Amino acid sequence: MDLTYNLIEDSGINYISTALIKLINLSSLSLDFSYTSIEDSSVCYLSTALIKLINLSNLSLNFRYNSIGDSGVNYLSTALIKLINLSSLSLNLERNSIGDSGVNYLSNAVIKLINLSSLSLDFTYNPIRMSDLSNISALKNLNLNK
């Protein structure tokens, strides 16, 4: 679902999340929220839905050019840990407000995804240090952009 350049507020994400929760047999999901003014509270709604999608094996989330910070990444990380069947994960978090804590939340979640064989993370133009990515640097097939 490509929602790029739409003004989606918390209520819009809440509606999308409510619909997603009903798709319990979904195995692949791609959502593009680039340039949509998404903040941490919106990621909280979406994460609540993602937790329920335990059959997901492929997940692609594009959050480029939004206002997601460490709290939003914490919500997302909490959801990702529950997706035990995930084999492919692509997260584009370019140009948000993610700092060291957010990277730590995400890296601690990703290393627990034992079935993950493909990972692509984009943290371009976020205030982080490469040293904060040390937890996930040993994964196979890691495509890491900073």
Q: Are 37 and 66 in contact (CB under 8 A)?
A: yes
pLDDT at residue 146, rounded to an integer? 45
pLDDT digits over 69-126, tens only?
999 999 999 999 999 999 999 999 999 999 999 999 999 999 999 999 999 999 999 9
Residue that the structure tokens 């040390």 belong to: 134
Judge contact between 121 and 96, C-beta under 8 A: no
121 φ, ψ (degrees, to nearest 5): -125, 135
Domains of the chain are 10-145 (3.80.10.10)
Nearest to 9 by CA among 33, 47, 37: 37
3-state secondary structure the chain: CECCCCCCCHHHHHHHHHHHHCCCCCCEEEEECCCCCCEHHHHHHHHHHHCCCCCCCEEEEECCCCECEHHHHHHHHHHHHCCCCCCEEEEECCCCECCHHHHHHHHHHHCCCCCCCEEEEECCCCCCCHHHHHHHCCCCCEEEEC
pTM over 0.75: yes
* 65 backbone φψ class: left, alpha, beta (φ>0; ψ -120 to 50): left
26-59 residue pLDDT tens: 999 999 999 999 999 999 999 999 999 999 999 9
